[in-house]
Amino acid sequence: MPVDHRRIQGPECSEDYRKPKTLDAALLKKGSRRADGRKCGEQRKIFLKPGVVSQAKGSAYIELDHTKVICSVFDPREKASRNLEQQTVRGEIFCEFKFASFSGVQRRSHQQEADDKEYSLLLKNALEPAVCLHEFPNFQVDVQVLVLQDDGSSLAAAITCAGLALADAAVPMYDLPVGLSKAFSGDTEFFDPTGAEERMCLRGVDGESDHGVFTIGFLPTFNQVSQLFHSGHISSDRFGKMISEVGTLAAEVHKAVQAILLSAVKSSIDSSDNSKLLL
């Protein structure tokens, strides 16, 4: 393997001291409570804050218990000219999604890994329908996302967080996008799953047919699904039903995001008023 001269190198090989996590079928116990005490349809408490990065045009931080994601958005800049001849009438969102090396149970590499790249694309596809792309032709808006700690639903958290960061950056948007995630195995459905629940549902417990995890990017005002990322094994009828149920769940998160943004605008108006009074 080539040596990375740009970083301080550790020993050639090292290994995790923890034993690999086994899947915990006990999460599926028929009781009404989940491992962290939530009901199946209950979301973790959301902590959301815009304007956390001073150097960015807009930014936001989201915390779903142990899942922690930070996002910053920059001014539109001219597109990295790939096709000079090709005039595009629409702008573009460029997303870079990265899991911090210490964000998961296992240490991750500094370089962008395959799932970082995949999530970057999924996030871009989830955000673009929400943005008035025609207002900045030939320009791209950079959206940078860093997952500080991953305990499930990190893509969903990133969508919500990036939506708020875009609004904070005053990028014109049709709606505030909301990300939601659901894991299911057999008859049990976990809304806003934790990392353990996600792993278990992705794998499925033997003998039960339907299982999987899906993340949905949602624009509540126009009732649009901008991203539907699913992995698992499920019948179309049930899947269709689950998607249609998402609307009500999204409305709640959407309200919360709107309220946070409103109060952020209010407080910045107040502070700018005060400073004008000082003069």
Partner 1 sequence: MSSTNERIICVPGQVLCASSNDHVAGQGTFERMGYIYASLAGVVKVEKKLEINIVQVQSLKEQSTVPSPGDIVTARVLIVKSRQCMCEIKCIGDIALTRPFRAVLRQEDVRATEKDRVKMYESFAPGDIILARVLPIMDVHTYQLSTAENELGVVISHSEAGVPMVPISWTEMQCPVNFTKKLRKVAKVIPENIDIDMEDNTETEKKPST
Partner 2 sequence: MSVHIKTIHPMKYMRDFLARNIRPDGRKLSEVRPTAINVGSISTADGSALVKIGNTVVICGIKAELTVPNAENPNEGFVIPNVELPPLCSPQFKSGPPGETAQVSSQFLADILVNSKCVDLQSLCIMPDKLAWVLYCDLICLDHDGSVLDACVAALVSALCTVTLPEVKFDAITKNKTVELEKRRPLTLTCFPFASTFATFDENSILADPSEEEESLCSGTISIVTSGDSLYSVHKPGGCQLSENRLSECISKAQKRSLTLRGMVEKSMESIKS
Partner 3 sequence: MADILLSEAEKTFILHGVRDNVRNDGRSCSEFRPIELELGLVENANGSARVRLANTDVLVAVKCEIDNPPSNFPDEGKLDFFVDCSANATPQFEGKGGEQLAVELAALMSRAYQTRESFNLSTLSIIKGMKCWKLCIDVLILECGGSLIDAISMGTKAALADTKIPKVSVIGSDEGTLELELADEADGREEPLDWHHAPCLVTLNKLEDSLLVDASAEEEACCAAALIVGVSPNKKITTTSIPGHGSFLADSKIFARALNLAVDVGVKLNTALEAAIKKHQTLKPPPRGFLD
Q: Name the residues that contact partner 2, by CB under 8 A.
A: 4, 6-11, 13-19, 52-56, 66, 68, 70-72, 74-75, 96, 98, 100-105, 107, 110-111, 142, 144-146, 148-151
Per-residue binding string, partner 3, 159-198, x by CB under 8 A, is ----------------------------------------
How far is residue 157's CA from residue 230's CA, in Å, rounded to a whole number? 16
Token pair for residue 196?
A: 């353990």
Cα 119 → chain centroid? 9
Torsion sign (Cα): 118, 122, 125, 127: negative
Query: Do the Cβ atoms of 159 and 167 come closer than 8 Å?
Result: no
Q: Which helix (H) or strand (E) holds 212?
A: strand 211-219
Torsion sign (Cα): 98, 228, 106, 9: negative
How far is residue 271's CA from residue 67's CA, in Å, rounded to a whole number? 31
Interface stretch with partner 1, choices 95-103, 104-112, 129-137, 230-238 (CB under 8 A): 129-137
In the list partner 2, partner 1, partner 3, none, the entry touching 30 (Cβ below 5 to 8 angstroms by class) is: none
Residue 221 interacting with partner 1 (CB under 8 A)? yes
Interface stretch with partner 1, choices 79-87, 99-107, 108-116, 242-250 (CB under 8 A): 79-87
Interface residues toward partner 1, by CB under 8 A? 57-58, 74-78, 81, 84, 87, 132, 135-139, 141, 167-176, 219-222, 258, 261-262, 264-266, 268-273, 275-276, 278-279
